[in-house]
């Protein structure tokens, strides 16, 4: 049976498409899978203006539409997102989509602290 999960780190093509720097950030994350209302919790290990890497043992399939809430001591960031790659047993890369302006400001403030 074929799987939609990647068995390795992001391909060089994914790395080449990155257009913004990533920063190490450990924070808790709650994920709501949009179509089934399934909830996952985990942590992020990297963040950028366009997405993050979520550490979870059972990542969702590539293309899954999700809602993400990242929490840390200085508040919470929430947005719609899409899984763009998955590493079974490790985690998944998430692309932020349609982020509200007030949450973009929160994200920008976090990134400013990290850079």
26-71 residue pLDDT tens: 999 999 997 888 999 999 999 999 999 999 999 999 999 999 999 9
Distance separating alpha carbons of residues 77 and 72, to the nearest angstrom? 9
Q: Quote the distance between the C-alpha of residue 48 and its chain's center.
A: 9
Average pLDDT, the chain: 86
Set out the domains of the chain in order of their start, with CATH numbers.
23-114 (2.40.10.220)
Q: Count the Cβ atoms, other than its own, within 10 Å of residue 9.
A: 12
pLDDT tens string 15-29: 556 678 999 999 999
Query: Taking the model in full, what pTM does it have?
Result: 0.81
The model's confidence at residue 1, banded by pLDDT at 50, 70 and 90, is: very low
Q: Are 64 and 33 in contact (CB under 8 A)?
A: yes
């Amino acid at each position: 049976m074929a799987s939609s999960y990647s068995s390795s780190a992001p391909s060089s093509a994914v790395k080449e498409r990155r257009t913004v720097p990533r920063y190490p950030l450990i924070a808790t994350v709650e994920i709501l899978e949009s179509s089934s209302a399934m909830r996952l919790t985990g942590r992020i290990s990297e963040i950028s203006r366009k997405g993050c890497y979520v550490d979870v043992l059972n990542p969702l399939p590539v293309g899954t539409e999700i809602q993400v809430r990242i929490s840390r001591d200085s508040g919470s960031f929430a947005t719609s997102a899409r899984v763009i790659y998955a590493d079974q047993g490790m985690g998944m890369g998430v692309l932020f989509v349609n982020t509200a302006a007030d949450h973009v400001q929160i994200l920008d403030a976090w990134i400013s602290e990290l850079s």
